[in-house]
Every structure is written in C-alpha cells, then in structure tokens.
Amino acid sequence: MAEENTAAPDAAGDGAASTPDSALDVGTYEVLSTRLADFATELTGRAETLNAARTEAFGSTELRLAGTTRIRTANNCVPRDMVQVGGHLLFGYNVHMGLKSHTDVGDVFALHEFAAEDGKFSFAEVEQAGHVLDDA
C-alpha cells in the first residue's frame, strides 16, 4: 500500500509542502526586516535632530532654482562638464564631428559669459580674442 502525503500545501497553493525550515526563514526575515525598519526610523530621527542643531548654530538658507536657460553651441552636442574660469563659464561637451579629420579645441569647448537681466538669464559666447581657449 502507498504512503499518503499528509503535509499541508504552502501559501502559494502550488501543492508543495511547507517545512519547518521555510517557516523559520520567513520568521527570520520578518525579525530582520522589523529591526532594519526600526534602525532606519532611529537614524532618520538622529539626522533630523543633528540638522536642527546645525541650523540653530549656523543658520540656514533655502536653496531654490532661480531660473533656467539654454547654452547654444556651434555643434549639436552632449554637455559633459562646466567650470568657472576667469569670470566666464568654460563649457565642455562631446560632439560627433562626422567627416572632419581632426578635432580642434573649439569643437569640444566653448567659453560663455553669464548675464542676468530682469530675472532672465543668458549665456553669450565670448568672442573677444585672447581668452583661455585662444592660448596655444
């Protein structure tokens, strides 16, 4: 006579039997998950307390976006980095040059001057001779 399987099906209902080990794993997961959630809550509280103390000691200024604008370049490009150099913005970018045999400094860098007028911002390319990109 064949032995009958008396194990209960698992929660997924696929007929696989639950074992004490899988129940232990689920319990362990819940314990660890609860502990991590508690630690996260405690860490958040500590960070907020520290930030409040920092603000009280040093003051605070609100960071907000003042405006947006576009930088126009001679070539269709993907911006990579920008830095202030001598009161101007040095703008570096990647560009696909197509049939051009070599790349010049002006093909991947542009020097712009920032201007703000009546709450509007603009970047005009510096065209005066003798700036940092003209230096051999």
Chain center to CA of 91? 20
Torsion of Cα atoms, 95 then 96 then 97 then 102, to 10° = 80
Q: Which residue has the higher pLDDT, 50 or 84?
A: 50
pLDDT of residue 14: 52
Mind listing the pLDDT tens digit for each residue in 78-107? 888 989 888 888 888 888 777 777 877 878
pTM of the full structure? 0.47
pLDDT of residue 18: 58
Spans of all domains in the chain: 9-64, 77-134
- In whole angstroms, what is the distance from residue 33 CA to residue 23 CA? 15
Range 119-135 average pLDDT: 78
Residue 70 in this model has a pLDDT that exceeds 80: yes
